[in-house]
Amino acid sequence: MSEAPPPAVLTDRAALTSRTIPSMLLSDGSATSKTPAPSTPIATDAAAGARARFSVQGNAVVTGGAGTLGLRSCDALLEHGLSGLMILDINPTESEKEIEALRAKFPHATIATSAVDVTVEDKVAEAMADTVRILGSIEHLVCFVGVVGCVETLDMPVSQWRRILDINTTGSFICAQAAAREMVKQQQSSTDDNDARGSDSSSSSSSGGGCSITFIASISAHRVNYPQPQAAYNVSKAALLMLKSCLAAEWARYGIRTNTISPGYMDTVLNEGEGIREHRRIWAERNPTGRMGVPAELTGAVVLLASSAGTYINGADIVVDGGGIVF
């Protein structure tokens, strides 16, 4: 005869039948929603039309923005019209020379940096609030921050597993949530201002295409890479694919589009060194393009997802890997 479960267990199970859960709300896509259809007349001037199609308006926060991929994408966003940029990185001073070069190249843009550990919730929230204070608003978030660890899974310390997921997955969530809270706050402020003026204008973001969040995932989110063992990294990036889908569904009504980019092996300092010469050869040989990618080849997808051309791209993943994913 089995023993009766403790009273606390009975209470917890009974509570399940009386609980209530929230329901997801979607936008209705009307002119007064946060997701109205854009007005896209055919431009009379071809050059002006081309510029407008991929224009990036407003301000952006780029996490891990002091790294090679982040800096190249910051440059591209600024080239396409970004007004203000906040680079969040664990140590942005390591790229001080490159950041100063950005300021010289884009003298009319406000470019700021902040040293932030993305796993510390309060510090990330402070950094987002500081961004709004310095730049005025946040329209775009691009999350490059991430770490990798290649180790046989039998030998992997649990602390390493937790660290990789904490930075790559939880850190991206913390940044997205903090940025989205600021985006929603400024959307509401804009609506209140319109109401006070008696305006019937759309309440969508002042950037003209709403707000955007882009996570940098990886081809490692789609398959097991060869030949290096990196279970924690693969899982952390695969989680980003589901996270972007969840946020794309939940936050669209606020005019926030959430997408991911999955790069293949990129030829950066992280993939250099004599110790991985054989790995680099294998990565190139198993790719239809026959080589690794270079940072500039990632910028097109970054710009697209933040630009006027991306207003109907939500919940998508763009693979940029030279075709490696076909095998």
**Domain with 182 in it: what CATH number?**
3.40.50.720
pTM across the whole model: 0.90
21 within some domain: no
The answer as to whether 105 is a domain residue is yes
Domain count across the chain: 1
Q: What is the pLDDT of residue 201?
A: 45
| Dist CA 263 CA 254 (whole Å) | 28
The answer as to whether 223 is a domain residue is: yes
Domain membership flag for residue 6: no
Assigned token pair, 293? 């990618």
d(CA 168, CA 237): 7
Q: What is the pLDDT of residue 1?
A: 55
pLDDT range class, residue 176, cuts 50, 70, 90:
very high
Distance of CA 75 to the CA centre of its chain: 16
The torsion angle over the Cα atoms of residues 112, 116, 121 and 124, rounded to 10 degrees, is 0
- Structural domain includes residue 32: no
Instruction: Count CB neighbours of 213 within 10 A.
Output: 28
d(CA 254, CA 222): 29
Q: What is the β-pairing status of strands 59-63 and 140-143?
A: parallel
pLDDT at residue 205, rounded to an integer: 43
Q: What is the pLDDT of residue 276?
A: 76
Task: Please check whether residue 136 lies inside any domain of the structure.
Answer: yes
Measured between alpha carbons, how far is 269 from 280 in angstroms, rounded to an integer?
Answer: 12
Residue 94 lies in a domain: yes
Q: What is the mean pLDDT of the chain?
A: 90
CA distance 65 to 102: 12
pLDDT tens by residue, 83-136: 999 999 999 999 999 999 999 999 999 999 999 999 999 999 999 999 999 999
What is the average pLDDT across 257-273? Answer: 84
Q: Which domain holds residue 239?
A: 47-321
